[in-house]
Structure 1
């Protein structure tokens, strides 16, 4: 039975759905994530270069294992168009055993 604490939800904001889908395809194909969801219609408000900014973005929500995180971070940074990409990982505390097993299998393919 998988331990939920060995899994992460990783999120990253991207400028548009096309870029988000391209990155999602790469990450799933390479086995760095089991699943990636492109969430459109995100409006971000943030400080950048001393100014408050607003941006319409997409949120890429990714499911992976803790052991794949460092590789995933490196790959996202290589593909991401932003100077300072948002890459945040949130540990799981619980999850359906069968889903966690599926995640583990699909991030252990390469």
Structure 2
């Protein structure tokens, strides 16, 4: 495996906050099992402040960064939306511009072509 860096990769992160670690883990496992994500990083302990239905709310959340192919982003979001408990979940697609080729080669093998 090479340690070279690839620029402008075909991969993206899909960012989504979830209410708790159990929900986040269940979604992550389903996406990896279905080969829609190479990996999902979960960050518990996030505090979100937002306005919802006229009230300012503060909630603890778990943020998921879903690593997938750019070409699978819509399919991945559709699958994640079915598992997401929020009425209006955030699914933000963030480009991965650089990456080491050995990792990206592994990731390619984990998701649908």
- Category of TM-score, reference length = shorter chain: over 0.9
2:59 aligned with 1:55, yes or no? yes
2:108 aligned with 1:104, yes or no? yes
Gaps of 5+ in 2: none
2:48 aligned with 1:66, yes or no? no
CA distance in 2, matches of 1:68, 1:4: 16
Hey, which bits of structure 1, 4+ residues long, moved more than 4 A?
Answer: none
Q: Shift of the alpha carbon at 1:108? A: 2.0
Distance 1:105 1:28, change over 3 A: same
Q: Shift of the alpha carbon at 1:5? A: 3.2
Q: Shift of the alpha carbon at 1:4? A: 3.5
> Conserved in 2, the CA contact under 8 Å of 1:41 and 1:57?
yes
2:43 aligned with 1:43, yes or no? no
Give the superposed CA RMSD.
1.5
Give me the TM-score of the superposition, normalised by structure 1. Answer: 0.92
CA distance in 1, matches of 2:50, 2:109: 37
Q: How does 1:61-100 map to 2 (within 5 A)?
A: 61-100=65-104
Per-residue CA distance 1:33-91 (angstroms, 9 max, x = gap): 00011111000011111221100010011111011111101011111000001111100
- SS in structure 2 at match of 1:8: strand
Give me the TM-score of the superposition, normalised by structure 2. Answer: 0.90
Gaps of 5+ in 1: none
More strand by share: 2
Q: Shift of the alpha carbon at 1:3? A: 5.6
